[in-house]
Amino acid sequence: MNAHDDRPAGRPAAVADQAAERPSSRDRLPIREIVVAAARAGYRNAGRILIVAVVVSMTAALVEVIAHAAVDRADIALSIFSDLGVSGLNLLGVIFLSGFLAQLVGEAEHGRPRASVRHVLRTLAWGRLIRADLLVALLVAVGLVALVIPGLLALTLFAVVGPVIEIEHRPVMASLRRSAHLARPHIWGVLLLATLPVLIASEIPAVLPETVGGVREILIFLAIRGIGEAVADSVLGLLLVELAYRLIDLDRARAAVAQVGQAGQPR
């Protein structure tokens, strides 16, 4: 056995390489640290986050109320057009909030320079983020229709596509591959920190009033959609961004260790 080879005698090289690729204790996803860091970033910027999140969510909620009140549901074509417009506005709001939270987490925890809301609006990769969000939604929907488990797997593997685009400025398909690459070694941690909160947040619309006709129903709708979802989306966004930063750091550390190991091997 070569003097530079640390593998145990008789152990196949492939087995040793596979063991080296498994995350050690120092490579495991620090779930508690991620939650604490996300909470810390949220606490330091609570005012900015709540103002932006509530404005975004309340605007979308008001447009939805107006659309439901103004559009004759007997007109199928107009109803579809109205619903698509409301969905598009919701998507833009979620993307902007995600980008804004990525900026705040970067400022609070990762040395990113401070930026204004206007700067985020101007520099956000709107096109890539919209395409990525729609593509992930399609993949998850197809997976859920197929056997449920593939949909949950897609939701987990692509959980940090948006933050990857915002942090590393990658194209859409490269970001999908990068997200899956980052999540795969830490699948259970990502499931806990991303997939489970996303599933919980997706249940919020279930408590909305079935009809929004009277003043009471409108106020309940605005409270849930404008405030409840704003808080939920903010918490989820902070978690996903911090998760993405930690996954990227772990991947870079693993890559650096692998390079050192390759450099130390005999030629």
56-99 pLDDT, tens per residue? Answer: 999 988 888 888 777 777 778 778 888 788 888 888 988 999 99
For residues 20 and 11, what is the distance between their CA atoms, to the nearest angstrom?
A: 13
Q: Across the chain, what does the average pLDDT equal?
A: 83
Residues 6+ apart with CB under 8 A from 78: 71, 72
For residues 38 and 236, what is the distance between their CA atoms, to the nearest angstrom?
A: 9
| Residue where the block lists tokens 């606490």 | 43
Q: What is the pTM of this model?
A: 0.81
Burial of 80 (0-12, 13-18, 19+ CB in 10 A): exposed
For residues 43 and 233, what is the distance between their CA atoms, to the nearest angstrom?
A: 15
Q: Grade residue 209 by pLDDT with cuts at 50, 70 and 90.
A: low
For residues 49 and 98, what is the distance between their CA atoms, to the nearest angstrom?
A: 11
What are the boundaries of each domain within the chain? 29-255
Q: How far is CA 174 from CA 103, 158, 170, 181, 183, in A?
A: 21, 11, 6, 10, 14
Q: What is the pLDDT of residues 1-49, one digit of tens each?
A: 444 444 444 444 444 444 444 545 557 899 999 999 999 999 989 999 9
